């Protein structure tokens, strides 16, 4: 029995020892398995990354080395050199025809900046002031006054609708003065005449000539025919706008033109209009555009202007012709080839003030056999002075010198005579009396 118990105890002891070794073995095996699992999971990830790298290398092409041209372009963009400011001198203005002829060197008592000046009495043709009156020069947009006169005398309907064409645009494209009349603009003939006279619009003037019966060539022929009828022997037209330097005339001829044009109320009204608003363009692009008068003197209340027209191209200089009421007389004033932008206006003001400061005696006093000898002593004329100086009246002489007159229109001829061949280049009327002396004179 004892032997059996010993055997049993020894069996249980062996089992307990086996279990003890088993537990210890398991405890030792667990950390190693965790480390192996960690190491095993990292290796596949690394392998996966390593396997991904060749695929990326396969999909992304290798960058090529930049060429020499690309490298130069990239360097130029990177540097971005600063652009140097180049100052160019403006080209000097082209000399006018009068300047080339030396007419600007002609002096006068009023120190005018215009090479040509003429002031005459519209009613009597008496010349009150003259400077190079017979010089034949380009007249620029003064041409448009004859354009309007031919249209008015043709008795064409002013309410007829005309359309600005591409021909009008091309014919006036050489002008530095930009026209706002777009191709396709529809206006009445009266509106086109208005813009040609008031704003000196070249496309309007050309459209008037183009729509004349027979076209532009017939219109230019009518202009020259009218000039011959008026005795304008120094005048020649080649187109209706004045852009051509071949449109030429003299101051004495332009005085005749102003007098003829002033007989038409429509020309007087349109040329002295201050401004106008007309629709320009076609369809949805049509819009109202304001046009203004090119002669600032029409805004001056000191002037009573009945008709006017301005003009400018390089060959002609600044020009203006006017018919105005000055010192109680209807006077015609012509100024050609003024040197600066505003000098024609300044010259007109000098002439207006000169006329206003003098009392120009009416022509009937010198011809009346009764009134002439009975003039007060203070109104008796002085001895004639040099033609380049103003001639004043004083208590010296008893005779009244006769003023030169605008000669009657000569017969049409290519070599029409000058207005006064014996008249000097500068002439000032000898019938002037300072207002101070006039106030003291017992009348």
Active site residues: 141, 144, 200
User: Of 196, 205, 198, 180, which is closest to residue 293 (Cα–Cα)?
Assistant: 198
Q: How many CB atoms lie within 10 A of CB 408?
A: 8
Rounded Cα gap, residues 193 and 210, in angstroms: 13
Q: Which residue has the tokens 């008068």?
A: 293
Rounded Cα gap, residues 324 and 332, in angstroms: 7
Residue 160 in contact with residue 368, Cβ under 8 Å? Answer: no
Pairing of strands 127-131, 426-428: antiparallel
How far is residue 90 from each of residues 87, 93, 178, 221, 315, measured CA to CA in Å?
9, 9, 21, 40, 18
Is the Cα torsion angle 213, 215, 217, 219 positive or negative in sign?
A: positive
Number of alpha helices (DSSP H) and beta strands (DSSP E) in the chain = 13, 12
Residue 197 in contact with residue 271, Cβ under 8 Å? Answer: yes
Residue 314 in contact with residue 91, Cβ under 8 Å? Answer: no
- Helix (H) or strand (E) run with residue 312 in it: strand 305-313
Cβ-Cβ contacts under 8 Å for 193 (sequence gap 6 or more): 148, 151, 158, 204, 208, 266, 270
Rounded Cα gap, residues 110 and 389, in angstroms: 9
Rounded Cα gap, residues 209 and 216, in angstroms: 5
φ, ψ for residue 342 (rounded to 5)? -110, 5
């Amino acid at each position: 029995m004892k032997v059996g118990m010993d055997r049993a105890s020894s069996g249980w002891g062996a089992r307990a020892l086996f279990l003890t070794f088993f537990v210890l073995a398991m405890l030792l095996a667990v950390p190693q398995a965790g480390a192996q699992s960690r190491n095993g999971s990292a290796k596949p990830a690394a392998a996966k990354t390593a396997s991904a790298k060749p695929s990326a290398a396969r999909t992304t092409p290798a960058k090529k080395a930049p060429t020499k041209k690309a490298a130069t372009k990239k360097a130029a963009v990177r540097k971005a050199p600063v652009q140097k400011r180049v100052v160019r001198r403006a080209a000097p203005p082209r000399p006018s025809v009068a300047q080339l002829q030396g007419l600007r060197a002609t002096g006068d008592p009023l120190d005018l900046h215009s090479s040509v000046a003429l002031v005459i009495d519209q009613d009597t043709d008496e010349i009150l002031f003259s400077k190079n009156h017979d010089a034949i020069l380009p007249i620029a947009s003064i041409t448009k006054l004859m354009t309007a006169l031919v249209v008015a005398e043709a008795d064409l309907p002013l309410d007829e609708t005309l359309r600005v064409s591409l021909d009008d645009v091309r014919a006036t494209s050489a002008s530095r003065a930009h026209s706002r009349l777009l191709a396709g603009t529809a206006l009445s003939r009266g509106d086109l005449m208005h813009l040609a006279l008031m704003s000196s619009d070249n496309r309007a003037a050309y459209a008037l000539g183009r729509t004349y019966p027979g076209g532009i060539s017939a219109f230019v022929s009518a202009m020259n025919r009218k000039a011959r009828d008026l005795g304008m022997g120094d005048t020649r037209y080649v187109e209706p706008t004045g852009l051509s330097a071949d449109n030429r005339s003299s101051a004495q001829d332009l005085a005749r033109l102003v007098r003829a044009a002033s007989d038409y109320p429509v020309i007087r009204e349109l040329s002295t209009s201050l401004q106008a608003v007309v629709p320009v363009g076609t369809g949805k692009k049509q819009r109202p555009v304001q046009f203004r008068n090119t002669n600032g003197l029409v805004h001056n209340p000191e002037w009573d202007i009945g008709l006017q027209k301005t003009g400018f191209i390089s060959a002609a200089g600044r020009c203006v012709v006017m018919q105005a009421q000055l010192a109680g007389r209807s006077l015609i004033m012509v100024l050609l080839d003024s040197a600066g932008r505003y000098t024609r206006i300044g010259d007109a003001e000098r002439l207006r003030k000169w006329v206003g400061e003098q009392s120009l005696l009416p022509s009937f006093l010198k011809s009346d056999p009764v009134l002439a000898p009975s003039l007060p002593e203070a109104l008796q004329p002085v001895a004639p002075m040099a033609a380049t100086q103003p001639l004043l009246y004083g208590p010296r002489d008893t005779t009244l010198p006769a003023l030169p007159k605008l000669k009657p229109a000569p017969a049409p001829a290519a070599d029409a005579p000058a207005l006064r061949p014996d008249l000097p280049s500068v002439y000032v009327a000898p019938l002037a009396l300072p207002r101070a002396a006039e106030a003291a004179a017992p009348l």
